[in-house]
Structure 1
């Protein structure tokens, strides 16, 4: 009887081990729920975090190291004058509704993105496209009005994914793409469910199903991981608890970098913030390290401009807006500003809510009071991002290499500098890498000189995952949770 029991126990152990090795579903935690699921029709990073590279694909895409690699375009050729791009598309690709992907879908998607009435949040990415022509089902010719050294990079954004005319109108709630996962369900306020695409053109993902659960409260996120209700939280909202996970062999703590420039954005058209001396005063009133320590528990890299420190063209300009309350007070006096109260609108992420309280205290020390309003994400998008109804706000810009937003006078912080706009136009027309690097350095210096915003820190990617999961991105070269290479260890 004893030997029989031992054999049975061994069989049970093997069965359990096999069951673990065969796990093919995953639950991913996210703090913010996307307002919709169409990356071509919304600015929220949470949209891409669910659907980029999972449901939707573009002609090109970002790899985990930030490089631009082929997507739905297998290869491409660029004319000698740099004005014509000929894309050879992958053959046999199907949308999730069973319709075929062809060059006509590329024409539709890019024409739609660059149309005058476009709802694309990054329409500027497509501004230099003069025409898009389908030569045959697998060949697209894209002509530019002027050279654009960043075109392939731009086409890798989530805003540039390819959609079909038959389903484009309903992608916000029922997304139909060509990616390795198919949209299955969205229980608003709770989760989005995806299943493996059996007809995917590329290598089949190891996962058969994925669920994105939305957990806004950091304490609830911690509890969900500890209980095993969530398998991974790629951007974990409670960095103060990472030490507990590091000490627990059930988990892996994955700390990397992101493209997220976290800023105290200022409304440059709202008096007295339209005075550079007031913006400069606010910048000098900020102690970045206190914000990193207090809001992010030490995770984050100080920045002095809108550019990622891990990029080779980054210029460290933090000294230009160093913490100096005395200078801040002198600048306010020079500008004739006293008894100033500014509205500080804070979206839900903990870096904003926690950081906002710290910044409010720092501003108070130089004579600036703040009226804090905590906004839900949809409200922040409507009031601040679209309505421009704010004085100050804190947000992390997680789009890759997005310094070009400062060339848009109607962007939410409303910076209007023709010199910067000319600089960005020159950058677009420049292909030489050394010349592009010099222009990017000049751009960083120009917005720092104008104290457009208060530059706080580069958001760290602090993730926690079950130790048996592999393939999650360590860094975030774009706002994505690419599950195509994720698997459970054997």
Structure 2
């Protein structure tokens, strides 16, 4: 005990001294069914769980309850991590970021802008929880009528913008209209194509009238582009950075960092837990891993799978792995030669050894995909057949069918698309060569990859976090007129089915339509869906959180709102 007191000075808090006296007393008679040590231990845990004692003082309480110093310290950390605590500053290393980044929600191309400006600074009408279910967010409730053609969203009472202005239905209307119309450049335009009209029904209710029924419409309202902004002169004021979210924007340096501070008037009681948060753009994988190891940041997205084992041995670091809807793709521009030939697209699909890529590049943290973007966990998911395995004879067959003996194409890649993209492309070059296809791997610059390469180069690497419904995924990434239709694929029958399936109320018929659409993307689509990837991140153990949402990376983009500092 003397050595312990040399290391841990006697507590000075009157509260803790009273607790020590209570713990060292005999067990009350009415607790006779519980051992004395169990009673004392339970009391000590309840105190730290309530956030009433520091780590040092808890050591004293643990010793009094019969624990060793090490055991008491371990118990403190475990208990503190289980109970949300307020305060602190977290630095979060994002795998993306570019000098072209903006707070304009019409864009938000990657995890940096999505997590900082949608998940932390702002709110949409709804959000998706850790179970994949849609829940009210800025809306208090929502309900449909007329066969899901009319949707009414009631806003939360007392919700305000960062400038103190009350959120009204007019703000919601102008915010969503910002993404609509022929002149908008919003990536969310295709999501709202089915909306015939939006109107305010009083200050707290917004009514959407759809062109046809859509039972999944509340999911669409959770999209990270569709954040609510204050109306100014009849238009959405995105440039001010004023939003409704858990944090207020303090400083933003495009391509470098975004620093935010706690919103004291946030409408979600008790949230956020952090006082401040800074999102730091670290696009280089090695630099990202080093930043976590040295304590420069408390969290990194997209950890290096090759050195994950080494990172796991660090006692101060915890790996977070979530199986979600994410997938890595190689979109081919189906409107441009040679990819405008469906037989060329099919030849390339058979020229890739996907299992080898899963084993060598993703080291078991992904599963083979089959040119279908609908993850197995999503309702109406169907595995189209046949499985596109590596088959040189079939690849040569389709190449010959396209009127070619051989083929030479460029594949533009960077690890900004996904960690391992460059190495995966090298493997693809090797297997394609056995099929008479010369793949020239072009290693592009990491910075501004999404502005200069994606949607611009004929064949490149890409990623999707996935979407919670088949309609949402297809509408945003495969619909003919979507600005994020990365393969520029336009299949008339597919687009006809997309509209019909959205409005179909018969579940069996709807399932059949989505199955046919998945088969079409497999057989004819311009996007090679390589793998369904796990979200693998790493964090300092001083950070804690509840169940992590699988719908997008970084805890459904909401980590700043949901996570807390666990230990002092």
TM-score greater than 0.5 by the shorter chain: yes
After TM superposition, give the deviation of residue 459 of structure 1 in Å: 1.7
**Retained in 1: the 8 A contact 2:351–2:435?**
yes
Matched, 1:223 2:299: no
**Retained in 1: the 8 A contact 2:131–2:549?**
yes
**Retained in 2: the 8 A contact 1:471–1:485?**
yes
- Mapped to 2, the partners of 1:4 and 1:441 lie a distance apart of 66
After TM superposition, give the deviation of residue 145 of structure 1 in Å: 2.1
- 1:406 match: 478
Q: What are the equivalent positions in structure 2 for 1:150-165 lying under 5 Å apart? A: 150-165=216-231
Matched, 1:26 2:90: yes
2:425 pairs with one of 347, 356, 372: 356
Cα deviation digits, residues 174-196 of structure 1 (max 9, x gap)? 52210111111123343211111
**Retained in 2: the 8 A contact 1:261–1:307?**
no
After TM superposition, give the deviation of residue 73 of structure 1 in Å: 1.1
Matched, 1:299 2:365: yes
After TM superposition, give the deviation of residue 384 of structure 1 in Å: 4.1
Q: What are the equivalent positions in structure 2 for 1:376-391 lying under 5 Å apart? A: 376=445, 379-386=448-455, 388=456, 390-391=457-458
Q: What are the equivalent positions in structure 2 for 1:105-184 lying under 5 Å apart? A: 105-166=171-232, 171=238, 175-184=241-250
Cα deviation digits, residues 262-304 of structure 1 (max 9, x gap)? 1121111222222221111111110112112232222111111
1:346–1:327: structure 2 CA closer, same or farther, 3 Å change rule?
Answer: same
Matched, 1:486 2:563: yes
- Mapped to 2, the partners of 1:166 and 1:372 lie a distance apart of 48
- 2:499 match: 425
- 2:511 match: 437
**Retained in 1: the 8 A contact 2:129–2:549?**
no
- Mapped to 2, the partners of 1:3 and 1:291 lie a distance apart of 55
Aligned residue for 2:561, secondary structure, equals: coil
Cα deviation digits, residues 95-148 of structure 1 (max 9, x gap)? 112222111101101222112211210211111212211121112222122212
After TM superposition, give the deviation of residue 361 of structure 1 in Å: 2.0
**Retained in 1: the 8 A contact 2:149–2:211?**
yes
- 1:374 match: 443
**Retained in 2: the 8 A contact 1:45–1:398?**
no
- 1:309 match: 376
1:451–1:89: structure 2 CA closer, same or farther, 3 Å change rule?
Answer: closer
Cα deviation digits, residues 428-448 of structure 1 (max 9, x gap)? 212344433332222111111
**Retained in 1: the 8 A contact 2:326–2:535?**
no
- Mapped to 2, the partners of 1:77 and 1:4 lie a distance apart of 61
Unaligned 5+ segments in structure 1 are none
**Retained in 2: the 8 A contact 1:265–1:394?**
yes
Cα deviation digits, residues 175-220 of structure 1 (max 9, x gap)? 2210111111123343211111001111221111111112122222
2:280 pairs with one of 203, 206, 213: 213
- Mapped to 2, the partners of 1:456 and 1:223 lie a distance apart of 29
**Retained in 1: the 8 A contact 2:8–2:56?**
no
**Retained in 2: the 8 A contact 1:37–1:171?**
yes
After TM superposition, give the deviation of residue 24 of structure 1 in Å: 1.7
RMSD: 2.7
1:10–1:294: structure 2 CA closer, same or farther, 3 Å change rule?
Answer: farther
1:467 pairs with one of 534, 541, 548: 541
After TM superposition, give the deviation of residue 63 of structure 1 in Å: 1.5
Aligned residue for 1:142, secondary structure, equals: strand
1:309–1:377: structure 2 CA closer, same or farther, 3 Å change rule?
Answer: farther
Size of the aligned set, in residue pairs, is: 484
**Retained in 1: the 8 A contact 2:108–2:114?**
no
1:240–1:362: structure 2 CA closer, same or farther, 3 Å change rule?
Answer: same
**Retained in 1: the 8 A contact 2:349–2:528?**
yes
- 1:290 match: 356
- 1:456 match: 530
TM-score normalised by length of structure 1:
0.91
1:255–1:228: structure 2 CA closer, same or farther, 3 Å change rule?
Answer: same
- 1:60 match: 126
**Retained in 1: the 8 A contact 2:494–2:520?**
yes
**Retained in 2: the 8 A contact 1:264–1:394?**
yes
